[in-house]
A = this chain, B = another copy of it.
Amino acid sequence: MEKKYFEDYSMGEVFVSPGRTITETDIVLFSAFTGDWHELHTNVEFAAKSPFKERIAHGFLGLVVGSALIFRLGRHVLLPESFIAFYGMDSVRFVGPVKIGDTLHSEVTVTELTAKDGKRGIIGHENEIKNQRGESVIVYNTKILAGRKPSGS
Contact = CB atoms under 8 A, between A and B. Distances in A.
A142 to B, nearest CB: 9
Contact of A74 (B19, B77, B93): B77
A25 B103 CA distance: 16
Contact of A25 (B25, B44, B94): B25
Nearest to A63: B60
B20 A23 contact: no
A109 B57 CA distance: 26
Given A25-B28, A63-B60, A92-B90, A72 B103 contact: no
Interface of A: 1, 18-21, 23-26, 28-39, 42-46, 55, 59-60, 63-65, 67-69, 71-77, 79, 86-94, 101, 103, 132, 140
